[in-house]
Amino acid sequence: MPIFRKSCLCLHAPKEEIDILDYSHCSLTDIPSDVFLHERTLVELLVDNNRIHDLPRVSFVTTGSFLS
């Protein structure tokens, strides 16, 4: 199965099987809502270098220093 990587400026259908979303360097203050459209297949969510201060109340597993 191919790996799909989407950046913050992409447009995609909710039924696509996406396992990596890259929202790095997008000046975000919140986790984008389309992340939850892909929660079934999402393996990696990249949100480095944004202005996110709080995570929504869902189960996220971080692999690096998310909030410093």
**Mean pLDDT of the residues in the chain:** 75
Q: Each residue of 3-56: pLDDT tens digit?
A: 555 555 555 555 678 889 999 999 999 988 888 888 888 889 999 999 998 877
User: Domain locations in the chain?
Assistant: 5-46
Angle at 58 between CA 45 and CA 63, to 5 degrees: 40
pLDDT range class, residue 62, cuts 50, 70, 90: low
pLDDT score at 32: 87
What's the confidence (pLDDT) of residue 48? 92
